[in-house]
Each structure stands twice: as structure tokens, then as C-alpha cells.
Amino acid sequence: DERRMRTAMPFVQPVQQLFERLPREDKPGAMSFLAITSDKGLCGGINSSVAKITRFGVVDEEAKGNTAKVMVMGNKGIGALKRLFGDRFTYSFEECSKQPWGFGAASIIAEQVAATNPARLKLCSNKFRSLVSYETVASDCVTIQEAQSMDKAEFSKAMDVYSFEPSIYEVWTDLHEFYYACVIHGLYLEGVVSEQSARMGAMEN
């Protein structure tokens, strides 16, 4: 799985870096959370930490007066979050590991995420650091709504270093969905490898 992750990252990271060039503003509004967990979990906090950071995020946004929506990948996250936040669920994706994970699965999930047209989006997941460590993070993801509301001059300044055929405005929606898929694909693989490292650590202890 680590080899699969390292093979995928050279394809995932350039797309992420493209979107990271876009100017960002922290605006109020509805926040969607996508929690990326596994279907099975035998390693203590590996899934509960993702559920926890998602839970804190929902509470924080609602305390600010913003609407919070929740999407979850993996049975462990669904079980941990549905009792408290079942009424905020928009999508849940179970049995993600039933078939070997691939970009096709990430694309299907990305299509569903895009269909909800989130105003703002955070992806809660485990980021692989090394064979003995991982970090649970809530990563901001640029949404279509955010891109559309950006200052046109700043948007052009960020994107004009690239050439698009046809024009960027014609392909943007498809490109954005591809971006969602790339980010989800990369984070899911990092989560799988993080879980493996946690298992190795648990066995050594």
C-alpha cells in the first residue's frame, strides 16, 4: 500500500498544487466535512481521531452560526459520527475497501461530493508521515463556489501561467471534479498506509 501511495502521489500532487495557487479568503457560510476513515479498524485512535477532528469542526462551525454538513467514507467513521450528527449527513460511502481501491472509486465519490455543490469543504483524514507516525488533519479544499466567487483578476493571475485547451472557463467544472478525485484518492491512500503503520506500532508494543 505504501508503494501504491508513492506511485499515485506524482499524479495527485500537481493537481493539488495547481489549485493551491488560487487566492483564498476565509468567508462565512455552510461548511461540508468529508471524513475519510476505514471500513475496519483495530488500531485504537486511527479512525476515532478522524471522527474527533470532524466532530470538533462541526461544533465549531455551528457555534459561529454556520450550517455544517457531513459526508463520511468508511464504516468506522459512519459508526462514530452518525449517532451525534446523523441529521447532518448528506452522503456516506461504505465498503470502500471491499474492492481494491483505485482512482475510479475516488472519481465516483468526487462526483457525489461535487453534486452537493459545497460552499466550503474540509477533508478530515490521516496524513502519512513515516512508518511510525501519522497526523490527523482537516484540510481545506477549494470548492467550485469559492472559485466562482474569486476576484477575476486574481484568478487569472494564478491560472494564466498554464495553457488550457479549450479555455479554462469551458473545462473548469470538469477540472474541479478531477481535483476533488485527486485529493480524495491521495488522502485515502495515505489513510490506508497510516493505518498499516499504526498496526505495526501496536504489534511491536
The full set of domain ranges for the chain reads 2-200
What is the CATH topology of the domain spanning 2-200? Answer: Pyruvate Kinase; Chain: A, domain 1 (3.40.1380)
The cell for 47 is: 479512525
Residue 29 contacts residue 120 (beta carbons within 8 Å): yes
Q: Which of 38-52, 65-79, 86-100 has the lowest mean pLDDT?
A: 38-52
Q: Which residue has the higher pLDDT, 105 or 3?
A: 105
Looking at residue 163, its amino acid is: S
Residue 203 is predicted with a pLDDT of 58
Q: Which of 12-21, 39-48, 59-68, 94-103 has the lowest mean pLDDT?
A: 39-48
Residue 131 is predicted with a pLDDT of 73
- Is residue 49 pLDDT above 60, yes or no? yes
Its sign, for the CA torsion 23, 27, 33, 36, is positive
- Is residue 201 pLDDT above 70, yes or no? no
Looking at residue 152, its amino acid is: K
The cell for 17 is: 498544487
Kindly state the average pLDDT of the residues 110-137. Answer: 90
* pLDDT more than 70, % of the chain: 94
State the pTM of this model.
0.89
- What is the spatial order of strands in the sheet that 120-130 belongs to? 89-93, 68-73, 31-36, 120-130, 133-141
Residue 71 is predicted with a pLDDT of 96
Of the pLDDT bands very low, low, confident and very high (cuts 50, 70, 90), residue 122 is very high
Residue 3 is predicted with a pLDDT of 86
Express each pLDDT in 52-70 by its tens digit: 999 999 999 999 999 999 9
Task: Decide: helix, strand or coil at residue 70.
Answer: strand
